Amino acid sequence: MSGLLTDLYELTMAAGYAAAGRLDDRAVFEFSIRRLPRNRGYVVVAGIEQAAAYLENLCFSAEEIAWLRKLPQFARAPEVYFDWLRDFRFRGDVDAVQEGTVLFAGEPVLTVRAALGEAQIPETALLATVTFQTLVATKAARLVDAAAGRAVVEFGTRRAHTPDAGVLGARAAYIGGCFGTSNALAGYRFRLPVFGTAAHSWMLAFPSEGDAFHALQNLLGPHTVQLVDTYDTLEGVRLAASLGRPLWGIRLDSGDFAELAVAARRILDEAGLKDVRIMVSGDLDEWKIRDLVLAGAPVDSFGVGTELATSGDAPSMGSIYKLVEIESGGRRRPTAKSSQEKKSLPGAKQIFRFPDHDVIGLAEEPCPKGAAPLLHPLLRDGRRVAHPPPLDIVRMACREGVAKLPAPYRAFDQAAVYPVQHSPALQRLTDETLRRRQ
């Protein structure tokens, strides 16, 4: 992957470290989530696999280096810098939480220990990769929570920020608990369950709705889902019911779902199609799904697109990648920002998870009794040290992690703040580091 896929300042800083003879200073950078998005009491981490693949494949082509050389920002960069770019490989160590892990504000997601230049350049791509998938996995967890046992299928590629984001979003949504996706490439690449039958254009391509329904049944047999709202929704349901089996279900894609689902259920039941399902799609979010479930609407599964693929109510999140320790000339020094709004905590850290709270401590602290550490080795010397668990396992672990959270932390609005403490050792280091600056 192109080393240029980063902010230019990562590359100018690396040139500056080259000029200062400091490219090989040992640095520790920490990826953490400074603030949770609005309405979020937790996040579900995803994208760690793509982050690892990125780090393993990062390099610069000769043509890319030639382009950089001509930029005015690099007019004074030393020759050793361009040599370094030519031979660039990420050779550092990375610890990370497992995908599907539930995390809270301020907690480290990933720690990079590497030569200063090698650790600096990946900042931008690591942030974009992990933040986006984490947003979608988190949104999926909320939707699945709202659906209270009914299936939620990811339908959002067309609304994703590029088609490729749709593929990775489908993966993240699966981690967060979705039942599957409409994205065929995500299904192929990540072996996810894929779903999809027909769109309105299918209905319009036939002279009548009956012709369209009939053709779909011939094609899909027991997998048939009839989309009933192209013309008149309840007429569509009656038509689907009159054609009878094979029929997996019907899909409502517009209108008042609570009313239509009740009416559709009655029509299907009266036709002896009690096991035929009702799927609902169209501008759904966790609030609407919860309301439908609470109203007792006879809906069997939900297809969610826009809101899931873009994490619509919270399309971004304050994730950061900060230098927390540097070793230069044999001297190790923890670092922290002390500006009023954006304080950061120094040192390489570990999360110790207790049953009812988390403690952020220093990486070198022993794990306290009754707690489990959440950051595990991901890369050593730039290479994967562990095979990732299958996504089904990741997804199940995520569901368990979310289900364990007491309801106030899972609230869709104004979620309670989960108790996250700092260990005495971390607190001491923070005080010392900031005092040193004053």
Please list every residue from 326 through 365 that binds a second copy, using CB under 8 A.
Answer: 326, 328, 333, 335-342
Contact 136, 19 (CB under 8 A): no
220 contributes a contact to a second copy by CB under 8 A: yes
> How far from 170 is each of 145, 355, 405, CA to CA, in Å?
17, 30, 24
Q: Which is nearer to a second copy, 26 or 290 (CB)?
A: 26
Instruction: Indicate which single residue of 53, 80, 86, 232 sits in contact with a second copy (rule: CB under 8 A).
Output: 232
62 contributes a contact to a second copy by CB under 8 A: no
Closest among 361, 387, 390 to 111, alpha carbons compared? 361
Q: Which is nearer to a second copy, 143 or 323 (CB)?
A: 323
Site for a second copy in 252-271 (CB under 8 A): 254-255
Report d(CA 289, CA 280) in Å as an integer: 10
Instruction: Indicate which single residue of 80, 148, 204, 386 sits in contact with a second copy (rule: CB under 8 A).
Output: 204
At 153, which helix (H) or strand (E)? strand 151-154
Report d(CA 392, CA 192) in Å as an integer: 9
Q: Which is nearer to a second copy, 76 or 274 (CB)?
A: 76
Q: Which stretch binds a second copy (CB under 8 A): 150-158, 237-245, 268-276, 416-424?
A: 150-158
SS3 304: strand
Site for a second copy in 293-322 (CB under 8 A): 306, 309-312, 315-316, 319, 322
Site for a second copy in 76-95 (CB under 8 A): 76-77
Closest among 160, 165, 163, 192 to 179, alpha carbons compared? 192
Cβ 7 to a second copy shortest distance, Å: 4
Please, what is the end-to-end C-alpha distance for the chain in angstroms? 42
At 34, which helix (H) or strand (E)? strand 26-35
Q: Which is nearer to a second copy, 116 or 348 (CB)?
A: 116
Residues in binding contact with a second copy, number by CB under 8 A: 108
Q: Which is nearer to a second copy, 107 or 154 (CB)?
A: 154
Site for a second copy in 100-119 (CB under 8 A): 116
Report d(CA 341, CA 178) in Å as an integer: 37
Site for a second copy in 127-146 (CB under 8 A): 127-129, 131-132
Phi and psi of 138, rounded to 5°? -65, -45
Site for a second copy in 358-417 (CB under 8 A): none
Q: Which is nearer to a second copy, 13 or 263 (CB)?
A: 13
169 contributes a contact to a second copy by CB under 8 A: yes
124 contributes a contact to a second copy by CB under 8 A: yes
Helices (DSSP H) in 244-295: which residue ranges?
257-270, 286-294
Q: Which stretch binds a second copy (CB under 8 A): 20-28, 284-292, 360-368, 394-402?
A: 20-28
DSSP string, 63-118: HHHHHHHHSGGGTT--HHHHHHHHT-----EEEEPPTT-EE-TT-EEEEEEEEHHH
177 contributes a contact to a second copy by CB under 8 A: no
Instruction: Indicate which single residue of 32, 98, 101, 120 sits in contact with a second copy (rule: CB under 8 A).
Output: 120
Report d(CA 371, CA 361) in Å as an integer: 12
